[in-house]
C-alpha cells in the first residue's frame, strides 16, 4: 500500500515541478506495431527457445539432471582422464599445474575453516554473545542515527 503523498516534502514538490517541465516526446512511427509484433513472436516461440524459467516443469527437471550428470562427468571422469593421458604434452602440463593450484586453494579453504572452528571452540559463549551483541547494538544505533539525521534534514524549514 502506498503512503499518501506528502505535500510538505520539498523533494516531492521539486521533482513534480521538474517532471512537469519535461516535454512529451512522441514515439517513432511504427514503434507500437514493432512492439506488438515482437510480443507476438515471443509468445509463439517453442518452449526450448524461451528462457529456462518459462520451460515446463518436466523439461526443467530433466535439463537440471542432464547438467548435473555433465558436471559430474567432466569433473569426476573427464579431468582425471585428461590428466593421465595429456601429462606428456605442454598443454597437459599446464592443465595439471592449474588443477593442482585449484586443489591447493581448496586445501587452504579447508584449513581456514578448521582454524576458525578451533578458535571458536576456544572462545567462551559469554565473550561470543557479548561480541555479537556489540555488533548488533552498533548496527541498530547506526540505523537509528541515520533515521534521526534523515528526519532532521527532510523536515521543511
Decide if 96 contacts 87 (C-beta within 8 A): yes
Residue 82 has pLDDT above 80, yes or no: no
What percentage of residues in the chain have a pLDDT greater than 70?
A: 87
Alpha-carbon distance of 99 to 80, in angstroms, equals 10
Residue 40 has what pLDDT? 95
Cα–Cα distance measured from residue 42 to residue 32, given in angstroms and rounded to the nearest whole number: 16
- Report pLDDT for 110: 85
Phi-psi region of 90 (alpha: psi -120 to 50; beta: other; left: phi over 0): alpha
19 or 96, higher pLDDT: 19
pTM: 0.36
Q: Which of 39-43, 91-95, 103-107 has the lowest mean pLDDT?
A: 91-95
**Which pLDDT score, from 0 to 100, does residue 5 have?**
60
> What is the spatial distance between Cα 154 and Cα 157, in angstroms, rounded to a whole number?
9
Under a CB-based contact definition with an 8 Å cutoff, are residues 84 and 96 in contact?
no
Higher-pLDDT residue of 143 and 157 is 143
Q: What are the pLDDT digits (tens) for 47-60? A: 889 998 989 999 99
Report the alpha-carbon distance of residue 155 to residue 60 in Å, rounded.
52
- Best CA proximity match to 87, nearest among 78, 97, 77: 97
- Please report the pLDDT score of residue 6 as a whole number: 59
Amino acid at each position: 500500500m502506498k503512503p499518501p503523498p506528502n505535500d510538505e516534502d520539498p523533494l516531492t514538490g521539486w521533482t513534480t515541478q521538474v517532471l512537469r517541465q519535461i516535454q512529451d516526446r512522441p514515439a517513432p512511427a511504427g514503434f507500437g506495431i514493432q512492439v506488438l509484433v515482437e510480443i507476438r513472436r515471443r509468445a509463439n516461440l517453442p518452449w526450448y527457445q524461451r528462457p529456462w524459467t518459462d520451460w515446463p516443469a518436466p523439461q526443467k527437471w530433466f535439463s537440471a539432471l542432464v547438467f548435473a550428470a555433465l558436471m559430474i562427468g567432466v569433473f569426476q571422469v573427464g579431468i582425471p582422464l585428461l590428466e593421465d593421458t595429456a601429462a606428456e604434452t605442454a598443454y597437459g602440463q599446464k592443465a595439471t599445474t592449474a588443477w593442482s593450484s585449484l586443489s591447493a586453494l581448496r586445501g587452504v579453504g579447508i584449513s581456514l575453516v578448521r582454524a576458525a572452528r578451533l578458535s571458536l571452540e576456544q572462545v567462551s559463549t559469554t565473550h561470543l554473545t557479548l561480541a555479537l551483541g556489540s555488533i548488533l547494538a552498533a548496527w541498530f544505533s547506526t540505523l537509528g542515527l541515520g533515521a534521526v539525521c534523515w528526519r532532521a534534514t527532510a523536515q521543511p524549514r
